[in-house]
Amino acid sequence: MRWSQLFIPTLREAPAEAEAASHRLLLRAGYVRQVAAGVYASLYLGQRSLLKIARIIREEMNRIGAQEFYLPALNPAELWQTTGRWDLDVVFKLKDRNQHDLCLGITHEEEMTQLACGELRSYKQLPQIWYQIQEKFRDEPRPKGGLLRLRQFLMKDSYSFDLEESGLDVSYQKHVEAYRRVFQRVGVRYLFVEAYSGVMGGSVSGEFAAPAEAGEDRVAVCPCGYAANLEKAEANPAPVEDLPGNDPPEIFATPGQKTIEELVHFTHESPARMIKTLVYWVESTPVVILLRGDHSLSETKLAASLGTNVFRPATPEEALAAHGAHLGSLGPVDLKAEVRVLADRALQGRKNMIAGSNQDGYHLRNVTPGRDFQAEFADLRTIEAGDLCPRCGKPIELISTIELGHVFKLGRKYSEAFGARVLGPDGKESPLVMGSYGIGLERILAAAVEQNHDEDGMFLPRSIAPFDVILTVANMDDQALRTAGETLYLKLLERSVEVLFDDRPERPGVKFKDADLIGIPYRITLGKQKFQQGLAEIFDRSTKKIENVKLAELEEALDAKIPG
């Protein structure tokens, strides 16, 4: 294609609101334009990249025997009321002219399960894997970061239907392998991590995450290969040395000291030698939660421990009424009320700690869990950098990531809700066993930019770059250069090279700046001086290395760089 005839609105400056590199560069390179918060239009270059990403995903899905569908985003309320997801606050809802409730799909478990229901009748029709590449809508509370958190986005979602769990294991594994091939082919570095399954409600799930500073997720990683989602990750805290002695708890005055920070400052003691006491209302019952002073509660883990996610922190008034002291003075010894006490495992085996005394203005020292109070121990805390890897015992690291894809074993949750049952070989009916699997297309593009950019622009992996090569004629007014450029352009087209011919009557500096910006892997430059010596330049955008190649050998040199 000839740049002079295309719409590629590059920008010299990044818009002020764009913080993430991918947001800034995709706007500057003319890939996308914002329509509303979290809603973007893909322009010519952006659409070329997204179509390449879609093609790779299609090829890999087809390879595992998945069948491509296309389901509408406009859904009747009844579908979502069947599973109770109508009330999720991310659902965009609307009414038609007859006042019927509708919504825009956040995902497609409901529609796919309803399709399966009544159509799949026998185990002989199984397994099935159905997928689509389609728009999803989510009313995100804080859409931001360009293509990283969108309210309307493209997703490849697929759904597997099996008779038994063993079949689901196979379908799940096929997806994990297909996803590995997809992410390898699109050239994005990724981790496969264990994940908490959030609103999906499945029990086993995995997440494909691209390490990138702009990412909003945090993943715990270890050089041994261990990788886990922060919400779910288990790790052992680095050991703490306890104070010696076996004295009983001793009360001491701590006037006005309420937070762990204040107490650290007041006592000159490490927060790791303190017990943090929280009060939660679980359904309608108060529960006391204990953590090491420097640790924080993972509500995800708390939900797993309690077997419910109906809970909230107690208000200061509720805590005072129940325990006779304010929140900052509560502790596990001699609690005023009979109450369930949950303690994080990091408190197990510790001794001589500082805790609240259940009397405002006083704390206790020499508090020893198990001797001075009883508790149920559970994994309740959010892990931290420096914790020890559960696999190899070395310190873990926390990194920021972008979620690219997710694989879920849903089990029978959706098929039971819809009554989607099949006859088994024994003649008995049973609910379908399902899996659901997603990949975000814009996220792949954004992650590729986050991982491959510098101050001048981006360098996309060739598999998803809008073109393989940009052919830059430094000066279109130079007749010899112009003719050589036109000839080379046609030759490259004949060889099926995806080439963008920068034939604009612009200064060379402008052309080079644009070429550096828009993410095309190679630039061929025809410049006056080298051309007179029979040479052209091949510029590798990712390494910024320039190679001088004889004009006659240019196509061969290019073939070696972009085979096939």
b/e 242-266 (16+ beta carbons within 10 angstroms → b):
eeeeeeebeeeebeebeebeebbee
Least separation in angstroms between CB 228 and Zn ion: 10
126 touching Zn ion, by CB under 5 A = no
Least separation in angstroms between CB 389 and Zn ion: 3
Nearer to Zn ion, 242 or 397 (CB): 397
Nearer to Zn ion, 148 or 193 (CB): 193
CA distances 260 to 91, 205, 264, 544, Å, are: 39, 36, 6, 52
The pair phi, psi for residue 524, each rounded to 5°, is: -100, 125
Nearer to Zn ion, 234 or 478 (CB): 234
- Contact stretch for Zn ion (CB under 5 A) within 117-125, 152-160, 207-215, 389-397: 389-397
- Contact stretch for Zn ion (CB under 5 A) within 188-196, 251-259, 391-399, 401-409: 391-399
33 and 40 Cβ atoms separated by less than 8 Å: yes
> Which residues 6+ apart lie within 8 Å of 87 measured at CB?
none
Nearer to Zn ion, 227 or 347 (CB): 227
389 touching Zn ion, by CB under 5 A = yes
- Contact stretch for Zn ion (CB under 5 A) within 136-144, 360-368, 387-395, 419-427: 387-395
415 and 113 Cβ atoms separated by less than 8 Å: yes
Site string (214-243) toward Zn ion, x via CB under 5 A? --------x-x-x-----------------
- Interface with Zn ion (CB under 5 A), residue total 6
Tokens of 415: 């098929």
Q: Give the separation between CA 405 and CA 112, rounded to whole angstroms.
A: 19
Tokens of 301: 């883990």
- DSSP 3-state percent helix, strand, coil across the chain (nearest 5): 30, 30, 40
Least separation in angstroms between CB 225 and Zn ion: 7
The pair phi, psi for residue 220, each rounded to 5°, is: -90, 125
User: Which residue from 100, 179, 140, 78 is spatially nearest to 408, judged by alpha carbons?
Assistant: 179
- Contact stretch for Zn ion (CB under 5 A) within 231-239, 381-389, 439-447, 540-548: 381-389
3-state DSSP assignment of residue 454: strand
Least separation in angstroms between CB 216 and Zn ion: 24
Least separation in angstroms between CB 192 and Zn ion: 15
341 and 298 Cβ atoms separated by less than 8 Å: no
Nearer to Zn ion, 106 or 227 (CB): 227
446 touching Zn ion, by CB under 5 A = no
Strands 469-473, 499-502: pairing kind: parallel
Q: Give the separation between CA 338 and CA 317, rounded to whole angstroms.
A: 18
Least separation in angstroms between CB 236 and Zn ion: 11
Least separation in angstroms between CB 221 and Zn ion: 9
Least separation in angstroms between CB 191 and Zn ion: 13
Nearer to Zn ion, 229 or 451 (CB): 229
Site string (190-209) toward Zn ion, x via CB under 5 A? --------------------
| Angle in degrees, CA 85, 88, 90, rounded to 5 | 125
Nearer to Zn ion, 222 or 380 (CB): 222
Least separation in angstroms between CB 394 and Zn ion: 5
Strands 67-68, 128-137: pairing kind: parallel
302 and 287 Cβ atoms separated by less than 8 Å: no
Q: Give the separation between CA 464 and CA 471, rounded to whole angstroms.
A: 18
Tokens of 51: 């179509």
Least separation in angstroms between CB 388 and Zn ion: 8
Amino acid making up residue 90:
V
Please name the residue that has the structure tokens 């006659």: 552
Of 163-192, binders to Zn ion (CB under 5 A) are: none
Nearer to Zn ion, 200 or 389 (CB): 389
Least separation in angstroms between CB 115 and Zn ion: 43
392 touching Zn ion, by CB under 5 A = yes
Of 23-62, binders to Zn ion (CB under 5 A) are: none
Nearer to Zn ion, 101 or 397 (CB): 397
CB atoms within 10 A of CB 388: 17
Nearer to Zn ion, 314 or 389 (CB): 389
Strands 204-211, 397-411: pairing kind: antiparallel
Member of 391, 491, 507, 550 binding Zn ion (CB under 5 A):
391
- Strand ranges (DSSP E) for 333-417? 340-344, 353-356, 362-367, 376-378, 397-411
Amino acid making up residue 387:
D
Least separation in angstroms between CB 224 and Zn ion: 3
Nearer to Zn ion, 21 or 396 (CB): 396
> Which residues 6+ apart lie within 8 Å of 19 measured at CB?
144, 145, 214
Nearer to Zn ion, 392 or 480 (CB): 392
Least separation in angstroms between CB 471 and Zn ion: 48
Nearer to Zn ion, 226 or 408 (CB): 226
265 touching Zn ion, by CB under 5 A = no
- Strand ranges (DSSP E) for 151-274? 152-162, 191-194, 204-211, 217-221, 227-229, 250-253
Give me the residues that bind Zn ion (CB under 5 A), please.
Answer: 222, 224, 226, 389, 391-392
